[in-house]
Chains A and B, each alone.
Chain A
Amino acid sequence: MAVKLETPLGEEDVLKLRAGDIILLSGTIYTARDSAHRRILSLPREELPFEPEGAVIYHCGPVVRKRGESYKVVSAGPTTSARMNRYLDGILGLGVRGIIGKGGMEVGPFKGRAVYFAFTGGAGSLAARSIKGVKAVHWLDLGIPEALWVLEVEDFPLIVAIDAHGGSLYR
């Protein structure tokens, strides 16, 4: 049975999850890839365009369509998370409680504080169905794939692939 979760996530939300659990995530999530991670960690906390405490970061560079001043997400699956391993400890240190991606990450930094959720790589057209809207976009100077997209999701189906207790599904 899928567990429903809503952002922002608290410590207790995260600690009750175990690798292999299927969850449905709703609320606000933030996309970030290589360049956005670098920028997040280079800025003082008060200059970040989002509140990292309890946040969920999605390793995703979406395909978006611009209509006038508004954006619509067309396809938005996860990108390979291992590229962001070097930033992981710093990001989780800001209070981020969840990472969504594919392919897995280092298990150590998640212990006691956060979880790694996997969505199916390549299934971008399906992921887009869980995205109800674009609330904002920051750092478009990094390019569309690398910008920080603030997305509203509803019942995004995810697998807990690395839990906060050292458990991991990856081979």
Chain B
Amino acid sequence: MIDGLVEAIRLAVTRIPDDTVSALQRAYEEEESEIARFNLENILKAIEIGKTESIPVCQDTGTLIFFVKAGVNSPFLGELKGAIIEATRRVTEEVPLRPNAVDILTGRNSGDNTGRGVPVIHWEITEGDEIEVAVLPKGGGSENCSALAMLTPSEGWEGVKRFVVEHLKACGGKPCPPVVLGIGVGGGADYAMGLAKRALLRRLGERNPDGRIAELEEELLKEINALGIGPMGMGGRTTALDVKIEVAHRHPASFPVGLVVQCWANRRAFLRIKPEGRVEVWQ
């Protein structure tokens, strides 16, 4: 199980998912400015080097975030947390990853990407005897552009669009555009942020199954690309590769909107642990 987790984390930091590579290639073909093309060409080259040399594409290998769907009848539930922490330590040494866990009081770097509350693990109990783990290495530059808005219900969806577009405009080149946006609406402040981050696990181009929300995703994507921020904030047609919205019911008085900004690398990998111990890893 630890080997499988190590493999999934290695895959996430050294290989950019196919859907993302295709979206970046499309962006490269559509850009006309020399500077936008310089940046996208560098991105595509870096992806290729990461893949062939099995090294981290970006030096910010992020904070490791795990979303676990834990089948109540899996025999491995008890050891999973320890295995995730152990895999994080091993992968930091082996790949290597950059140590990114710093003590909040002393500023001391733990050196192995573990510490209080880190790596971050989100648990969801599900039926059955399998465990599914999603790995999301999250870089600091893009995470610093994540935000929460507590809108009034009267502002509603127009307010969501205004908030997201204005916020992205203010962030400019900081989060490493072209970005992927995860947006969570409803459920309360904490839940909206969680939904937004979870939304990033969806494939690019795959729309929310609710047609009305899917329309909002497309509208927002168009509006953001119309801003002209472009790759790395130096102008261009592609500012976002995709927008993903997840929703929950809301309190009648509240309209919480979580916005999580992901950089172009859009890193992720998945792992399934079967009840007999067999492990499958994919992206």
The interface of chain A, by Cβ under 8 A from chain B, is 20, 22, 35, 60-65, 74-77, 79-80, 82, 102-104, 118-129, 142-146, 157, 159, 161, 169-171
Indicate whether B174 reaches chain A with its CB closer than 8 angstroms. yes
Q: Is the CB of A80 within 8 A of B61?
A: no
Q: Is the CB of A169 within 8 A of B264?
A: no
How many Å lie between the Cα of A129 and that of B230 in the bound state?
A: 25
Indicate whether B60 reaches chain A with its CB closer than 8 angstroms. yes
- Most chain-A CB neighbours within 10 Å: which of B96, B111, B230, B235? B96
| Number of interface residues, chain B, beta carbon within 8 A | 47
Q: Is the CB of B172 within 8 A of A103?
A: yes
Q: Is the CB of B176 within 8 A of A124?
A: no
Question: Given contacts A22-B38, A143-B109, is CB(A63)–CB(B61) below 8 Å?
Answer: yes
Q: How far is the CB of B109 from chain A (nearest CB, A)?
A: 3
Q: Is the CB of A65 within 8 A of B96?
A: yes
Q: Is the CB of A74 within 8 A of B176?
A: no
Residues on B with beta carbons closer than 8 Å to the beta carbon of A102:
141, 173-174, 176, 232
How many Å lie between the Cα of A127 and that of B59 in the bound state?
A: 10
How many Å lie between the Cα of A161 and that of B56 in the bound state?
A: 26
Q: Is the CB of B57 within 8 A of A124?
A: yes
Residues on B with beta carbons closer than 8 Å to the beta carbon of A22:
38
Q: How far is the CB of B139 from chain A (nearest CB, A)?
A: 8
**Chain-A contact segment, one of B47-55, B65-73, B124-132, B185-193:** B47-55
Residues on A with beta carbons closer than 8 Å to the beta carbon of B148:
none
Chain B, residue nearest A76 (CB): B59
Chain A, residue nearest B102 (CB): A143
Q: Is the CB of A75 within 8 A of B99?
A: no
Residues on A with beta carbons closer than 8 Å to the beta carbon of B241:
none
Q: Is the CB of B173 within 8 A of A74?
A: no
Q: Is the CB of A122 within 8 A of B264?
A: yes
